[in-house]
Structure 1
Amino acid sequence: MELDQLRYFLQVAADGNFTRAAEHLGISQPALSRSIGRLEEEIGQPVLQRQSKCVSLTDAGKLLQGRAKEVLSILEDTLAEIVDDGQVGRIRVGAIPTIAPFFLPGLLRRFAEDYPQATLVVQEATTDELLKACADGVIDVAILALPIQAKYLEIEELFEEELLLVLPPNHPLVSKQSIELSDIDQIPFVLLGEAHCLSDNIVSFCRKQSFHPVSVERTSQMATVQELVSLDHGISMIPMMARRLDQSERRVYRSLNGARPTRTIVAVWNPYRFQSRLMEAFRNTVRAYAGTIEQVTGTP
């Protein structure tokens, strides 16, 4: 049994399709099929149940999937430990879409300056996908926002940031010196889709204040939320990180008076995987960089 066979099998299991798996692996579909066929011959029974457009795991495949992940994880950790010099290596970083474009660029630049021989690989995905990737060893660390439901993962709080009310410039509330939550309780909201935890942060804050926002539109991109607000489709709440990068005059940002919505940014990793000196250096850089992010509490 070859390691590549295990890798190929895990990719097919993850994609549920030979064609997609072959594309991800960069090999031809016939070559992938032959590799899986040889694996099944050696095991003595099928590990994949083939259907017209997809494949699923047999009972033997489910057992092999868990063991294959363990074998490859042990091998990766062993190789990483052998070559661990604190300077050379690969760090795989994940972040949710409402954090990645605002937090990662500065962080990665800082780390690259201090560790030029290191390779940084970025993955942007939802919270659930990144938690699974952390648990499986697909990524080394994820930058996420609370709340998080995760077992056997280390979670370190980095900082808390305010969520600012964003309005079109011609909105009547723009002229108010102080905006109360009661001022917006009948105004439609533009929110991200349910897969994004930012919407959960917003809705949870509103419910704690006995206020239920009316969502009229949902989208998958923060930039689209901002543009829809500019077009007077509704209002929304945007993280301070995103607001700092928004230089457009087509939107106005305000802090709410009294209790203000916030979210807590965290770093997450699997403490049961080998923690290289380079990985520890990266986490230290994450902590230091997070500490430099100025927390603006007044009206911007």
Structure 2
Amino acid sequence: MELDQLRYFLQVACDGNFTRAAEHLGISQPALSRSIGRLEEELGQPVFERQARCVALTDAGRLLQGRAKEVLVILEDTLAEIVDDGRSGRIRVGAIPTIAPFFLPELLRRFATDYPDATVVVQEQTTDALLKDCADGKVDLAILALPIEAKYLEIETLLDEELMLVLPPDHELVSKPSIVLSDIEQIPFVLLGEAHCLSDNIVSFCKQQSFHPVSVERTSQMATVQELVSLSHGISMIPMMARRLDQSDRRVYRSLSGVRPTRTIVAVWNPYRYQSRLLESFRQTLRAYASS
């Protein structure tokens, strides 16, 4: 049994389809099928039930899936520990889309200055996908926003940031010296799609203040939210880190008076994986940057 066979097997189990798995692995489908066939010959029984358009794990396949993951984790951690010099190597960092473009560039620049021989690979994904990748060891550290439901993962609070009210420049509220929640209760909101936790933060805050925001449009990009607000499609709430980078005069940002909406940014990692000295150095840089 070869390690590549285990990797191929796990990819097919993940995708549930030989064609998609072959594309992800960068090999031909016949080569993948032959590898799985040899694996099944060695085990003496099938690991997949072949169906019309997909495959499903057999009982033997489910047992092998757990063991294969354990074997590859042990191997990867052993190799990482052997080559860990604290200065070079690769770190895989994930971040959600409402954090990555605003928070990561300066963080990565600072880290690269101190550790020029290190490589940081960035993955931008939703919270659920990054939590799974952390648990599976595909990501070494993820930068997310609360709330998070995760077992067996370490969660460290980095900072709290205000969510700023964003308005079109000709909106009647712009001229008000202070804006309170009752001023925006009946105004339509432009929000990110349900997969983005920022929308959950906004809706949760509004519900805590006893009203539900009226959502007229949802989009997948923060920049699109900002542009739709500029076009008077509605109002929204934008994290302070995104507001700092927005130099446009087509939008006006204001703080709410009284209780202000916030979100909590955290770092998440799997404490059961090998923690390299380089990764700890990255966490130290991350802490320092978040508190600056």
CA displacement 1:158-198 (0-9 Å, x = unmatched): 00000001111111111111001000000011111111110
1:68 equivalent in alignment to 2:68:
yes
SS at match of 1:215: strand
One-letter amino acid of the structure 1 residue matched with residue 249 of structure 2? E
Structure-2 residue corresponding to 1:272: 272
The TM-score with structure 1 as length reference comes to: 0.95
Deviation at 1:233, TM superposition (A): 0.9
- Give the share of equivalent positions with the same residue, in percent: 85
CA displacement 1:122-173 (0-9 Å, x = unmatched): 1111111111111111110000001111111110000000000111111111
CA distance in 1 between counterparts of 2:33 and 2:108 reads 38
Structure-2 residue corresponding to 1:251: 251
SS at match of 1:144: strand
Structure-1 residue corresponding to 2:226: 226
Structure-2 residue corresponding to 1:103: 103
CA distance in 1 between counterparts of 2:13 and 2:249 reads 48
Moved more, 143-152 or 53-62: 53-62
SS at match of 1:155: strand
SS at match of 2:191: strand
Deviation at 1:234, TM superposition (A): 0.8
1:281 equivalent in alignment to 2:291:
no
Deviation at 1:55, TM superposition (A): 2.1
CA distance in 1 between counterparts of 2:49 and 2:249 reads 56
- Return structure 1 stretches of 4+ with deviation > 6 angstroms: none
One-letter amino acid of the structure 1 residue matched with residue 223 of structure 2? A
Deviation at 1:62, TM superposition (A): 1.7
One-letter amino acid of the structure 1 residue matched with residue 113 of structure 2? E
CA distance in 2 between counterparts of 1:4 and 1:256 reads 56
One-letter amino acid of the structure 1 residue matched with residue 228 of structure 2? L
The TM-score with structure 2 as length reference comes to: 0.98
Deviation at 1:30, TM superposition (A): 1.1
CA distance in 1 between counterparts of 2:83 and 2:280 reads 15
Q: Which runs of 5+ in 1 are unaligned?
A: 293-300
Matches within 5 A, 1:84-233: 84-233=84-233
Structure-2 residue corresponding to 1:297: none
CA distance in 1 between counterparts of 2:90 and 2:186 reads 50
Q: How many residues align?
A: 292
One-letter amino acid of the structure 2 residue matched with residue 254 of structure 1? R
Structure-2 residue corresponding to 1:296: none
Deviation at 1:56, TM superposition (A): 2.2
CA distance in 2 between counterparts of 1:228 and 1:56 reads 44
Deviation at 1:220, TM superposition (A): 1.1
One-letter amino acid of the structure 1 residue matched with residue 156 of structure 2? E
CA RMSD of aligned residues (A): 1.0
1:239 equivalent in alignment to 2:239:
yes
CA displacement 1:2-60 (0-9 Å, x = unmatched): 00011111111222222222122111111111111111111122212222322222222
Structure-1 residue corresponding to 2:46: 46
CA distance in 2 between counterparts of 1:154 and 1:85 reads 24
Deviation at 1:119, TM superposition (A): 1.4
1:55 equivalent in alignment to 2:55:
yes
CA distance in 1 between counterparts of 2:242 and 2:271 reads 30
Deviation at 1:208, TM superposition (A): 0.7
CA displacement 1:201-259 (0-9 Å, x = unmatched): 00111111111101111111111111111111111100001111111111111100000
Q: Which runs of 5+ in 2 are unaligned?
A: none
Deviation at 1:286, TM superposition (A): 0.7
CA displacement 1:83-139 (0-9 Å, x = unmatched): 111012110001111101111111111111111111111111111111111111111
CA distance in 1 between counterparts of 2:44 and 2:243 reads 58
CA distance in 2 between counterparts of 1:255 and 1:45 reads 64
SS at match of 2:120: strand
Structure-2 residue corresponding to 1:295: none
CA distance in 1 between counterparts of 2:47 and 2:125 reads 29
One-letter amino acid of the structure 1 residue matched with residue 82 of structure 2? I
SS at match of 2:45: coil
Moved more, 201-210 or 21-30: 21-30
CA distance in 2 between counterparts of 1:165 and 1:123 reads 28
One-letter amino acid of the structure 1 residue matched with residue 34 of structure 2? R
CA distance in 1 between counterparts of 2:204 and 2:115 reads 40
